[in-house]
Amino acid sequence: MRTFLSAVLVALVVLLVPTSAVAYWADRELGDTDRYSAAMAPLARNPAVQEVVVTQATRAISGQIDVGPFQGGVEELIAEALRSFAGTPAYRTAWDAANRAAHTAFLHALTTGDGNAVTVDLAPVVAEVKAELVADGVPFADRIPETHVSAEVMEYDNLGALRKGFRMLRTAGIWLPLLTVAAAVAAVAVAVRRRRAVMATGLGLALGGVLLWAAVALCRRISLDDLPADISRPAAEAVYDALTAFLRTTAWVVLVIGLGAALAAWLAGRLRRTP
């Protein structure tokens, strides 16, 4: 009975590893403005994301001013200025400000909000670009009004179906990881042969890490295959990878810890048999 109970607990650990990692990620990574902004910050240097920002902001700014026959030239000036601006520290500052402002809307979309898109409000970027254009003496730049435009970097047809699961994961928060640790300790504690139980639990942790990595990869493929044609796939890939970096790192850490524990237990057994 004790061996059977230990085996059941090891199986539970395998299932709890990916679930608890996702719960912690949803609560402490996506649910925290500072960590969310830190995850999105590197995207300011991503060329695909920069191109989305340039395209959306150019379209929004040019739509707010009418200069007649000079419209095409002004649009080219704005687009060129945006591309130049995208490589500056000021752009990265504006990008961080935009993402912090968008975090509330992001959580709203994943909890009780409407819509199926993950967007970034480009108002801080537009304001910085306007200041740069005015300072450089670009014609008609002073006519650019305060513009709020949302750049869609990811969109789903079934985002609404994910909201209930997201709320449940946030509720679980820290409790599922604690339950995972408790189940692993209990699997060893109740076993008749502790060393073998440590090996089994370590392998269970490693298997859970593999399942987590596979789940992240599968969700990536499903999410990106579901993108509308007008959404930049490279930009969406960059956003998905940035948001799920914690899960991929966790999968590798758990895999290493599990294999290390199993190997240590195996070596301990071999050394014990050595005369």
Model pLDDT for residues 69-106, shown as the tens digit of each residue: 766 777 787 788 788 888 788 888 888 887 887 777 66
Report angle CA 243, 180, 193 to the nearest 5 degrees: 140
Q: Any long-range contacts for 185-193 (C-beta under 8 Å, 24+ apart)?
A: 186/9, 187/6, 187/9, 187/10, 187/13, 188/6, 190/2, 190/5, 190/6, 190/9, 191/2, 191/3, 191/6, 192/2, 192/3, 192/6, 193/3
What confidence score (pLDDT) does residue 14 get?
A: 94
Q: Which of 235, 264, 247 is nearest to 45 (CA)?
A: 235
Task: Compute the half-sphere exposure of residue 189: CA atoms within 13 Å on the CB side of its CA.
Answer: 6
Q: Provide φ and ψ at 152, rounded to 5°.
A: -85, 120
Q: Is the pLDDT of residue 123 over 90?
A: no
- In tens, the pLDDT along 151-206 reads 665 555 556 666 777 777 777 778 889 999 999 999 999 888 888 889 999 999 99
The torsion defined by the Cα of 175, 117, 50 and 134, in degrees rounded to 10, comes to -110
| Higher local confidence (pLDDT), 149 or 265 | 265
Neighbours of 266 (CB within 10 A): 15
The alpha helices in 226-244, defined as continuous H runs, are 233-243
Answering whether pTM is above 0.75, one says: yes
Would you state the structure tokens that stand for residue 84, as one six-digit string?
Answer: 């130049």
> Model confidence at 252, in pLDDT bands (50, 70, 90)?
very high
Query: What is the rounded end-to-end Cα distance, in angstroms, of the chain?
Result: 33
Q: How far is Cα 145 from Cα 96, in angstroms, rounded to an integer?
A: 22
CB neighbour list of residue 152: distance below 8 Å, 6 or more residues apart: 56, 117, 118, 119, 231
SS3 98: helix
State percent of the chain over pLDDT 90.
27
Q: Is the pLDDT of residue 108 over 80?
A: no
> Which range has the worst mean pLDDT, 32-46, 65-79, 254-268?
65-79
What pairs with residue 155 in β-bridges? 117
